[in-house]
Amino acid sequence: MTSSTGPATPAQRLGAAAVHAYTAVGSVLALLMVHFSYQGEVETVLWLFLVAMVIDGTDGLLARHLRVKEVMPGFDGALLDNIVDYITYVFAPMVLLWAGGYLPGAWFGGVCAAVPVLASCYQFCRSDAKTDDHFFLGFPSYWNIVAFYVVVLGLGPTTTAVLLLVLAVLVFVPVKYVYPSRTPVLWAVNMTLATAWLVLFGLITAGLPDPHDLLVVLSLLYVAYYVAVSLWLTARTARRTVVAHRDARRAARQPA
C-alpha cells in the first residue's frame, strides 16, 4: 500500500505508529482514572481528564497531518480513538461519580451511573455519530465534563442524578453539536475558545476545593456558547434542508 506521494518511508511509518501510540496512552489514563477514583483522589482524576482531553484534541490533527490512514491502512485508528474516548469520556467519569459518592445511595446510584454508560454504547456504535459535515449527532458523551462540574459546583446526588438522566436522553435527540477540531463553521473561534476552556479547566482544578468564582463562571460561559452555537447551526442546517426539499418539489412540478 502506498501513500498519495508514493510508498511510505520508514520515517512515515514510524510517525504514524507514534500517533497511534499517543492515542493509545488514553487507555492507560483511563485505568489510572478508575484506580484513583476508588482511592478517593478526585483532583488527580480531574488532572487525568485534562490530559486525556488534550490528547484527544490533538491526536486527530497529528493523524491528518501525517496522513496516518494512508501510511498504515491496516490499522484502524478510528476504532482505537473510539475505544479510548469511550473509557475516558464515559466509563471512567461514571466510576468517579459513583465511587466518589456523588450519586444517590443504594441501587439507584448504580442505575444513574449505568444509564449514561448504556446510552453512550449506542452513540459510539452509530455510523452517523460523527456526521459527514463534522458535527456530533446527539449529546456527544462529554461525561467527563459533566463529572468535572459536578465536583466543582458541589452538586448534590439528586441534582446529579437528574442531570445524568436528562443528558442521557439528549444522546438520542438529533441535535448537531460542534466538533471543535473538525466543524468548519467558526473553526478558529471554536478552537481558540476550546483551548481557553482547557486552560480554565486546569486553573480551576489547581484551585480545588475552593476555585476562584470568576474562573468557574468563565468556563461556564464557554459551555453556554458551545450549546448556543450548536443549536444555531442545527437550526440553520434544518432550514437549508427544508428549503432544498421545497425547491426540489417545485422543480419536479415544472413541465419538461
If one compares 255 and 131, the residue with the highest pLDDT of the two is: 131
Quickly state the pLDDT bin for 89 (edges 50, 70, 90): very high
Is the distance from CB of 141 to CB of 123 less than 8 angstroms?
Answer: yes
For residues 185 and 112, give the distance between their C-alpha atoms in angstroms, rounded to a whole number. 35
Predicted confidence at residue 207, as pLDDT, reads: 98
Kindly report the average pLDDT of the chain as a whole number. 93
Cell of 13: 511509518
Number of domains in the chain: 1
Over residues 59-87, the mean pLDDT reads 94
**Residue showing cell 490512514:** 69
Residue-wise pLDDT tens digits, 46-57 = 999 999 999 999
Q: At what angle do helices 92-99 and 10-38 cross, to 10 degrees?
A: 10
Domain range enclosing 249 = 2-253
- Classify each residue of 131-145 as buried b or exposed e, where b means 16 or more C-beta atoms within 10 Å of its C-beta: beeebbbbbbbbbbb
180, 191 contact by CB (below 8 A): yes
2 — pLDDT class (breaks 50, 70, 90): very low
pTM: 0.90
Q: How far apart are CA 212 and CA 200, in angstroms?
A: 10
Q: Which residue has the cell 482514572?
A: 33
